[in-house]
Amino acid sequence: MDLLRLIDLAPSLSLRTARLHLRRFTADDVPMAIAQENDRRIMRWIRDAQEPAAVQARAEGLAAPWRGLDGEWLTLTVVPHDTGMAAGIVVMRVTTAASATMEFGYRLSLDVHRRGYGFEACVATCAFLFATIGVRKLVAYCAADNVASWRLMEKLGMQREAQLREYTLLDGGWRDEFVYGLLAREWQEPL
């Protein structure tokens, strides 16, 4: 995995698909990130509602320079060509550099769900990380009840590798978490 290359590309990272532009998250995207954090329909399976100060700090942190440290998220903003408006984010991070493995995640505003944007954005992300960065393995996590998320992972060709029982505290209860994985040699970019 060429981590130095990813660190080098990160400040101006830009991926284009037929309908989407994925570009580095900037300070201009903070209001969109805050609006998403405050929308329980989007965040229901990600984390509980946070204090406004924590939401603000988290959203601003997404625009911070990325150093490629283990566990540090690199955030791209998803912008559909037809509106030119930020509609969500795709995030990625090195789990541990020693395992040459990265984790990714995604969330989109409700008004653009079920158009195939989530899949399209993830295909572009996986293709870039495997082909350009040489990542050996990608993993993604989701609450077991987050059917939209794990179906998207399965559409990408990921395999369910684990079910972490009672792992994430959401809405007062400990929820199971699924772990999905995809090896570089298994990746088949959809036509």
Ligand X SMILES: CC(C)(COP(=O)(O)OP(=O)(O)OC[C@H]1O[C@@H](n2cnc3c(N)ncnc32)[C@H](O)[C@@H]1OP(=O)(O)O)[C@@H](O)C(=O)NCCC(=O)NCCS
Binding footprint of ligand X on the chain (CB under 6 A): 42, 45-46, 105-108, 113-119, 142, 146-149, 151-152, 155
Q: What's the closest the beta carbon of residue 128 comes to ligand X, in angstroms?
A: 17
Euclidean distance between the first and the last CA atom of the chain, given in angstroms as a whole number: 25
Cα gap 181→150, rounded to integer Å = 11
Question: Residue 85 or residue 148: which is nearer to ligand X going by CB?
Answer: 148
Question: Residue 66 or residue 117: which is nearer to ligand X going by CB?
Answer: 117
| Look-up of token digits 């505290």 | 169
Q: 174 has which bridge partners?
A: 169
Q: Is 23 exposed, middle or buried (0-12, 13-18, 19+ CB in 10 A)?
A: middle
Question: Residue 1 or residue 20: which is nearer to ligand X going by CB?
Answer: 20
Q: What's the closest the beta carbon of residue 76 comes to ligand X, in angstroms?
A: 13
Q: What's the closest the beta carbon of residue 119 comes to ligand X, in angstroms?
A: 3
